[in-house]
Amino acid sequence: MHKKIMIFILAIISIALLYVLITREKPVEIVYQLSADALEIVPNIEQTAPLTHPDFVKPVYEPIIPEGVNLALEGKVEVSSFVQAYNGRKVIDGKTGGASYWEAEPSAYPNRLTLDLKEAHEVHAIKVMLNPSNLWGERNQTFQINYGADADHMSELVASTSYTFSPDTANEVVVEFTPVNARYIALIFTENSGAGGAQVAELEVYGK
């Protein structure tokens, strides 16, 4: 008899649980609907290549090549100082990459770079280059340009000026001037915002 009561109670509990499961509130599914006239239909653009926003497009820099011939490659260089292997000969080896640059001793201004063209030429432009890589960040270098027939008696050709070297413009600076007859061209540096002394990867001198 006792067993029957237990089975009866269990049956009642089971029915009660079943009732609760069946009748419990189901989660409400919310569906948003937009009417057709609330939608803006945008036609698919014709795209055949990746698009870049114009604000992020860098203008292409075309290296400046002055008229005439680069006479510096046949010349001879003297510098007021240099550090480690970054000696003066590096500015006329035709290379701007890697370790192929001159760097003057730090805090030893003025830093002088003198190029002997071995004979007088009519020259009208120089190009001063650093490594064009982005690793060489923007810097300003201030230098005066002198010229002459005699290394010990040079005249001012271009007054001291601060020039910006930027990887956006190939880290190069071209200075053009009224043609002069020169055997020697000298750059006298008094400032470099990117290092303790002057830096030049390549010095080109253009003339006839």
Specify the 3-state DSSP secondary structure of 145. strand
- Establish if 93 lies at the interface with Ca ion (CB under 5 A): yes
* Cα(130)–Cα(39) distance, integer angstroms: 56
Distance of closest approach, residue 172 Cβ to Ca ion, in angstroms: 12
- Three-state DSSP state, 38: helix
Q: Which residue is nearest to Ca ion (CB)?
A: 100
**Residue 204 within binding range of Ca ion, rule CB under 5 A:** no
Minimum distance of Ca ion from residue 117's CB (angstroms): 17
Instruction: Enumerate the β-bridge partners of residue 176.
Output: 125
Footprint (CB under 5 A) of Ca ion, residues 95-114? 95, 100
- Cα–Cα distance measured from residue 140 to residue 129, given in angstroms and rounded to the nearest whole number: 12
Q: Are 185 and 112 contacting, i.e. CB atoms less than 8 angstroms apart?
A: no
Rg (C-alpha) for the chain, rounded Å, is 38
- Report the nearest approach of Ca ion to the CB of residue 175 (Å): 18
Q: Which is nearer to Ca ion, 95 or 124 (CB)?
A: 95
Inter-residue contact 165 to 173 (CB < 8 Å): yes
H or E segment at 13? helix 2-23
Query: In this complex, which beta carbon is closest to Ca ion, that of residue 69 or of residue 120?
Result: 69
Q: Which is nearer to Ca ion, 11 or 99 (CB)?
A: 99
Contact status: 202 vs Ca ion (CB under 5 A): yes
What is the closest distance, in whole angstroms, from the C-beta atom of residue 123 to Ca ion in the complex?
20
**Distance between CA atoms of residues 21 and 41, nearest Å:** 46
- Residues that bind Ca ion (rule: CB under 5 A) add up to a total of 6
Q: Which region, judged by CB under 5 A, interacts with Ca ion, from 20-28, 47-55, 138-146, 200-208?
A: 200-208
The pair of three-digit structure tokens given for residue 151, joined into one six-digit string: 């290394």
Nearer to Ca ion, 100 or 190 (CB): 100
Residue 169 in the binding site for Ca ion (CB under 5 A): no
Q: List interacting residues with Ca ion (CB under 5 A).
A: 90, 93, 95, 100, 201-202
